[in-house]
């Protein structure tokens, strides 16, 4: 959102300050697990919306967004049981030229493919169309087809979410050394003053036949939103405010942010002969590692020089979780 070019950087990041309050307030809230990138037979998936919704309900999810290519699926005919602790949210994957894809989360009608001469113009037009419906825009898989760069995204305004992890086998989230990983892209955007939160998604297409690493199967990456109720309004608000974490398998009990620290409480794994172990990596400006902790809960005390602090939780089997960035008030000491 390029406010950093118009005002001091601290002012540009001030919008992140609300995330401190959101993560600190744990009264009367619950965690809700959901997937934000889902395809059905309404575009290039292999299963019906009913079957897709059924899979996620059976596997412990509480909400789902159907995001077929340039197709809006109305949740009303499918999400008919108000007592099943499951929410279907309206969505779409706006699929533009130049492999510029933006998910529209929480919308109520279709958004056509947008026009623009550059990737930046296509992204901004898509973001504006989503915001016009009070939805949350999600920039999908920047390294799919090596389509998007940080330079393409830096001028954007009113951004929302960035995909940094996915169950899809072809999206190149790790980068190649010359092109940064999408997590590194996130840090570059945050360090430049953009308010943007990171998500993990399935980008699921394949529910039938075998589940293999080379197919886009479900259950590989998700978000867990903190909200006071399981409604479209509450879940969309939590996504928009960064009141959630992203995961490929690590579960968190709590995230507590105050004006002077960030604390992460990891959910211990089920007892087994070889239980997973965890470490919490606290990260700041430009992706710099600030601290690594094996404690649970793990706490990082702000120094005032970090600009922002986020955490990546790594387990000993390669699974991950990511908290959202918290703005750190600048130290007044010399």
Query: What are the beta bridge partners of residue 246?
Result: 223, 322
CA distances from 92 to 21, 64, 154 (A): 30, 12, 24
Report the pLDDT value the prediction gives residue 60, as an integer from 0 to 100. Answer: 97
Report the pLDDT value the prediction gives residue 154, as an integer from 0 to 100. Answer: 98
Q: How far apart are CA 151 and CA 254, in angstroms?
A: 34
Instruction: Give the start-to-end residue ranges of the domains of the chain.
Output: 3-255
Angle of helix 17-24 relative to helix 232-241, nearest 10 degrees, comes to 130
Report the pLDDT value the prediction gives residue 258, as an integer from 0 to 100. Answer: 94
CA distances from 184 to 68, 69, 198 (A): 28, 27, 11
pTM of the model: 0.92
Q: How far apart are CA 177 and CA 186, in angstroms?
A: 16
Report the pLDDT value the prediction gives residue 262, as an integer from 0 to 100. Answer: 98
Report the pLDDT value the prediction gives residue 9, as an integer from 0 to 100. Answer: 42
Contacts of 218 (CB under 8 A, 6+ apart): 35, 52, 55, 56, 59, 167, 202, 204, 207
DSSP symbol at 126: H
DSSP run (H or E) holding 150: helix 150-153
Report the pLDDT value the prediction gives residue 169, as an integer from 0 to 100. Answer: 95
Domain 3-255 in CATH 3.20.20.140: yes
Q: How far apart are CA 65 and CA 49, in angstroms?
A: 10
CA distances from 13 to 2, 22, 286 (A): 10, 16, 14
Q: How far apart are CA 92 and CA 102, in angstroms?
A: 8
State which residues of the chain have pLDDT below 70. Answer: 1-27, 332-334
Q: How far apart are CA 215 and CA 219, in angstroms?
A: 12
Q: How far apart are CA 93 and CA 112, in angstroms?
A: 10
Report the pLDDT value the prediction gives residue 85, as an integer from 0 to 100. Answer: 96
Contacts of 243 (CB under 8 A, 6+ apart): 19, 22, 23, 225, 226, 227, 237, 324
Question: Which ranges in 154-231 belong to alpha helices (H)?
Answer: 182-191
Contacts of 86 (CB under 8 A, 6+ apart): 53, 56, 57, 61, 62, 63, 64, 79, 230
């Amino acid at each position: 959102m390029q406010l950093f070019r118009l005002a001091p950087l601290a002012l540009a990041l001030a919008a992140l300050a609300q995330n401190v309050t959101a993560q600190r307030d744990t009264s009367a809230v619950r965690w809700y697990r959901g997937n934000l990138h889902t395809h059905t037979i309404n575009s290039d998936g292999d299963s019906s919306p009913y079957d897709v919704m059924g899979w996620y309900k059976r596997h412990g999810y509480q909400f789902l967004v159907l995001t077929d290519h340039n197709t809006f699926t109305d949740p009303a005919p499918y999400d008919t049981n108000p007592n099943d602790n499951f929410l279907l949210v309206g969505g779409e994957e706006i699929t533009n030229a130049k492999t510029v894809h933006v998910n529209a989360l929480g919308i109520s009608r279709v958004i056509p493919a947008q026009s623009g001469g550059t990737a930046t113009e296509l992204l901004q037009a898509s973001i504006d169309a989503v915001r016009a419906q009070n939805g949350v825009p999600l920039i999908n898989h920047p390294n799919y087809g090596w389509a998007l760069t940080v330079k393409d995204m830096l001028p954007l305004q009113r951004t929302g979410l960035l995909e940094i992890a996915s169950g899809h086998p072809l999206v190149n989230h790790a980068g190649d050394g010359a092109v940064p990983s999408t997590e590194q892209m996130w840090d570059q955007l945050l360090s430049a003053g953009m308010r943007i939160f990171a998500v993990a998604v399935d980008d699921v297409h394949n529910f039938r036949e075998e589940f293999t690493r080379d197919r886009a199967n479900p259950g590989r990456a998700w978000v867990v939103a903190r909200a006071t109720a399981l409604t479209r309004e509450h879940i969309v608000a939590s996504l928009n405010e960064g009141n959630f974490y992203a995961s490929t398998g690590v579960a968190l009990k709590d995230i507590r942010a105050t004006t002077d620290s960030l604390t992460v409480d990891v959910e211990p794994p089920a007892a087994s002969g070889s239980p997973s172990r965890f470490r919490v990596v606290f990260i700041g400006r430009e992706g710099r590692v600030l601290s690594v902790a094996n404690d649970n809960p793990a706490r990082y005390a702000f120094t005032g020089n970090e600009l922002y602090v986020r955490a990546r939780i790594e387990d000993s089997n390669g699974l991950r979780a990511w908290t959202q960035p918290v703005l750190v008030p600048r130290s007044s000491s010399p």
